[in-house]
Chain A
Amino acid sequence: MKERTDPSALAAVRFDSGDRPESLRNLTGATKYLDDLPEPANLLHAAVVPSPSGHGRRMRVDASKARELDPSVLVLLADSIPGENQMGTAVDDEPLLADGEWHYAGQPVALVLASSKRLARAAAALVRVTGEELPVVTDPREAFAKGQLILKPRVQSSGDLAGAFRAEAEGGRARWIVEGRAESDGQEHVYLETQGAAAEPVDGGLRVISGTQAPSGVQKAVARVLGIPMRELEVEAMRLGGAFGGKEDQAAPWAALAALGAWVTGRPVKLVLSRRDDMRMTGKRHPYSTDFRLAIDAEGKFLGLEMDFYQNAGAACDLSPAIIARSLYHAAGAYRIPAVRAAGYMCRTNLPPFTAFRGFGAPQAIWAMEAAVSKAAEVTGIPALELQQRNLLREGDLTHYGMKMEDCRAGRSFELLLSRNPAARMKAEIDDFNAAHGDKKRGSWVIPLAFGVSFTKLMMNQGGALVHVFNDGSVSVSTGAVEMGQGVGRKILVVAARTLGIPENLVRIERTRTATVANTMPTAASTGSDINGAAALAACEEIRKRLLAFAATVLGAPENELSLGNGLVLRGGRDAGLAWKDLVAKAHEARVDLSAHGFYATPGLFYDMAAERGSPFAYHVYGAALVVAELDTVRGSSRVVRADLVHDGGVPIDALVDRGQIEGAFAQGLGWAILEDLVYGKDGRLLSDTLSTYKLPDMKFMDFPLEIELLDDAANPKAVLGSKAVGEPPFQYGIAGYFAVLEALKAARPGKGGFFDLPLTQEKAIGFLDGGN
């Protein structure tokens, strides 16, 4: 399948927009997000008071001025919490409200309630928080040196590492050993809808509407904070205005605070963060500082790899252990390396706890691996493209954590990309351009992709669904999946409609509620459709089975000759004379159960934590991307001029949705690589805390020819309807942007070695252009 940006190709059948009423609701402004809901008359609005600096103790809170502002103002501190003042899941190191000491700037200290949002925010600004300042650590290596580690370091190793790094001179095979450091900065999610939640007392418990990817996680967190059983809480997630991982664990504090306010006052409470509060109070993608060391033989084969990931975890554990796990799994990128040692250190600093963000630790590792490849090309003189091609993962390879690569499409993707962009032609085009231009230089980079799909925490690979067929033939599907724009609802709808053989417009996907489908996992790790789609499939299959058994009795036909399709009962593929609606009505009359619960636990996963060996992923997503960038050698600015992606999407359930995911993820990856710049002060305060100081990709940044080709003949037996997960993998394509700009810089300064300090901003580019060799 092929899709180009050429408008004439837009009518391509497989990108048909189909029946997506939610998209038209969005575009007409009819969609309601949390803050759009009607407000009850007695609603209290909430605002959060942050800690004053990066680190301190003996905290004193003076709320007198805030209370004087308006009689409606109520200020709640940690001592108002009836249950545990604790949000940590893996480690109990994250109070909901700071109590006595604080560990990062922006840590919630107090909840302020008032009769209007304006008053609540004004009152929050009047609360004075003071105390004794303590030293602030923002650098992960400094934290490591001070022994500030969260949990134990995690190390994976395979093969004969000493042997791999034995130099030719010492009788070994290593012709070259390249080493270096790769720094990658964090990234702000900038979901357009900021974090928020609303809570109201209902029948002795609470109903909470949370802007979360994890309603069950919020339910558990709120229950703990209030000291009540989970059954007393119903948590609902509406459509989210973007999330990207930022609302996986870190939506819970805002829900807990809204719930606390409602619990204490007995009134409905709504908390919606301002953009600035959201940016300074919530965690982002983890910054990493990584040491790499790569041994290469005379033929350019990678013999051994060492990676030491110093992960800046921020002030609390949050999801850092799961994220460092994904970094370790992706330490070798899409390359086969017989001996690997990958170590991860979760370093505790005085920054907001860093958290999930699309890619979840993989981008940092894949970036560092590409840095090693870039350095290897420089040192060996072998073009990077050749090094990559010679070392791509192949069918049957064992990864360093012991997983066998099956149905490996790394080579196929890479070759397809090169057939579209022959290496010699690419090089000639760029060389010619550079020879012809003094004030501009171009560079290009190709990146291969192998991205493991499944939650790295094994128990999380489960999900449920509840399907009701109403007696008029329409269908309601509930799952644990939260719709945040990624199209998971659309995919589950297609799964249900196809399984029941009915038109899509008979199916409705419900909002996600904890009392409907319980104990669900976050919609995350790209698995939303795999897990929830499979659970919905199981429920629909159960109902189909019952209905076909019933149809067999009605039609007097053998059940094994019957099927459902086109809204009809089919016998041998032909209309059996019983329409779906009549079948359902008759089944209801005959007291057949028209509802079913479905459950799915991803099969085949296992992992031995002690041995660091196993098969943690259901499958991998493959691909390859080419990015061409152009540097303005006078101004030091650069831009992407062309990109070409080959992506293994399995058989897309909805190709239009998948294309949107690929394009969006790629843009975020490019933003991380060459644009978005989180700036913290030495005191741990975020300086780039607004959208006027933190710049993310815009239309102009992305306005270049982008071609995407999906692998043909790519059915995936490991996921629902032959599909593959799509949310995170294409993010990594953006990493090529860094190296494309770096190649352009190197063309402007021939002979000068590259540097690995992401994002590659204009300031760094000018430093390179003006600096010595």
Chain B
Amino acid sequence: MLKSLRFRLNGKLVEIEGREEQPVLDWLRDDAGLTGTREGCREGDCGACLALLGRRNLEGTGIEWVPAATCLLALGELDGRTLITVEGLAGEGPTPVMKALHVENASQCGFCSPGVTVALSHFLLAEGPRDEAAAVASVEGNLCRCTGYASIGRAARALSSDFSGLPLDFPTRLAALAARGVFPPALAATMQELPEPASPATAAPGSPPSGGSPSLGGGTDWYVRNTDPAPGLSPRFVGRDPELRFIETRGSGGGATLALGAGVTVADFFASKAVRAVAPGIERFEALVASPHIRARATLAGNIANASPVADLTAMLLALDARLVLSGTSDARELPLAEFFLGYKKTVLDGDAIIETILLPAAPRAFSFEKAARRERLDIAAVNTALSLAVDSGGAMRGVIVSAGGVGPVPLLLGTAAAALEGRKPSAPAFREAMEAARAEVAPISDVRGSAEFRKRVLGRLMAAHALRLFPGAFSAEELLA
């Protein structure tokens, strides 16, 4: 519905009455006249519509910049935030990022080029590694059908070395990038603070969205299925609420719990030291989930609530023994994650209730995640699975949890597969039994992502991959697959 919104667009303060449910992409193109941001797929898969979104960071200490697919971004999300499109980047002519791509002829038809430019500009702005691999990974959410990516990769690598010495702290880095024209200085001057929102970011407790309006985390899934939302919808932007974006440890000792708020993004999750302590090495699986720009906006709670049987985060959280805290006027309770799902795309969520908090036991566990998909990056799984366990002093596996997605109408816990391992020492026979048990335990269907037979076969193979990852050298691939 129409709402007062105040945000920055390419450095300039914008105050409008806008349709809060409208995708930002449409507003940019049709209302703001900024056509460099383009529609390639309208489902977050191509990256042609990327823009840079400035928002409050997880800690609440300042601003963070993320790439955002504007086809999946509600205009209402911009309130109190700041957005930069390719036109803003190019405000004073081609930037070093654009020139690096130009020199390599990395723009052929050119349709995807603004999105690639935005992704690489974000790479230079973002925290984190600045090596060649990171540069190349920054465009994993951008499709290009012309170049075959070789020239884009060369440009990304060149940028990584040209900007290898960038300062680490944000203000100094931004100043350095402004001095070199990656961001026009006038624009950079607006990139360190957020405007006051026209309305508070915190949705009042118990204020249900109006008829048919959804509660959205990042909206990165809802907008895929609702590409042209009807005027009048008034979503509750859970992901915008600073009160709901937190990662904190509650309690201590054996009963300690890690609490993750509804606004925690997938990127927040993998970056969190506390999460990495619970599941050491979990960050290596981040790249298997969606793409950089989706991870920056998609929330864990949204991934769960969407109830896709192949939700990657759900598979991980199931194996980490997650519980959910639901809150709303219609329902408020705590329950194990596995009990949240009632059937295909059906959950216990009712009325205005949302998943407010996700709770994980804080005790560290060995963890592995596997995914079978057509493409290694930015693809939805045909089958995914996670496994967690502890090894006791005698070398036996304890507290084994196995999850699997894509093998039934809901994300599953595989009890018999876990039981096949429980209390045993890791061995090829034990895992072969677990693989068999897993296959016997599921009843997948055939669809566009693979046949039922394939799903059963690959589930067993992914279980073998868990075993090989968690117990390297203990047995061979041949022994497991024999």
A→B interface (CB under 8 Å): 5, 7, 10, 17, 20, 22-33, 35-36, 118, 121-122, 189-194, 239-242, 244, 274-275, 438-439, 484-487, 633-637, 639, 656-657, 659-660, 663-668, 675, 677, 679, 687-688, 690-693, 695-703, 706, 761-763, 766-767, 770
Contact = CB atoms under 8 A, between A and B. Distances in A.
A192 B151 contact: no
A766 B457 contact: yes
B98 interface: yes
15 contacts: A5-B150, A27-B94, A27-B110, A30-B36, A36-B35, A118-B228, A192-B109, A275-B40, A438-B478, A634-B461, A659-B151, A699-B377, A700-B376, A762-B372, A766-B461
Contact of B149 (A33, A242, A677, A699): A699
A698 B98 contact: no
B146 A761 contact: no
Q: What are the 9 closest A-B residue pairs judged by CB atoms, nearest first?
A: A29-B36, A26-B110, A485-B109, A667-B148, A241-B111, A485-B108, A29-B86, A28-B90, A36-B35
Contact-residue bracket for chain B: 35 or more
Interface string B450-474: 1100100110011011001000000
A697 B458 CA distance: 22
B108 A664 contact: yes
B268 interface: no
Contacts of A193: 38, 40, 109, 111
Contact of B375 (A7, A22, A191, A698): A698
Contact of A667 (B94, B149, B376): B149
Given A660-B146, A663-B150, A766-B454, A28 B94 contact: yes
Contacts of A659: 105, 151
Nearest to B228: A118
A763 B451 contact: yes
Contact of A660 (B34, B147, B379, B457): B147
B102 A668 contact: no
A677 B145 CA distance: 16
A515 to B, nearest CB: 25
Contact of B461 (A485, A635, A664, A700): A635
A698 B477 contact: no
B227 interface: yes
Interface of B: 29, 34-43, 45-46, 48, 85-87, 89-90, 93-94, 98, 101-105, 107-114, 117, 136-137, 139-140, 142-154, 157-158, 161, 224, 227-228, 370, 372-380, 382, 447-451, 454, 457-458, 461-462, 464-465, 468, 476-478, 480-481
A402 B127 CA distance: 63
Given A192-B111, A244-B145, A656-B105, A636 B461 contact: yes
A562 B103 CA distance: 36
A438 B94 contact: no
Contact of A17 (B48, B102, B462): B102
A698 B378 contact: yes
Contacts of B379: 695
Name, among B102, B142, B145, B151, the residue most crowded by chain A CB atoms within 10 Å (CB to CB): B145
Contact of B98 (A27, A695, A706): A27
Given A192-B109, A439-B476, A763-B458, 9 more contacts: A7-B161, A10-B154, A30-B36, A239-B110, A439-B468, A690-B45, A699-B136, A699-B377, A703-B153
Contacts of B102: 17, 20, 23-24, 27
A239 B372 CA distance: 38
B109 A484 contact: yes
B346 to A, nearest CB: 21
Given A695-B374, A763-B454, A32 B140 contact: no
Contacts of A275: 40-43
B108 A660 contact: yes
B44 to A, nearest CB: 8
A658 to B, nearest CB: 10
B140 A192 contact: no
A635 B462 contact: yes
A439 B224 CA distance: 37
Contacts of B41: 275, 690-691
Contacts of B108: 242, 485-487, 660, 664
B94 A24 contact: yes
A27 B90 CA distance: 9
Nearest to A119: B228
A702 B106 CA distance: 14
A698 B36 CA distance: 22
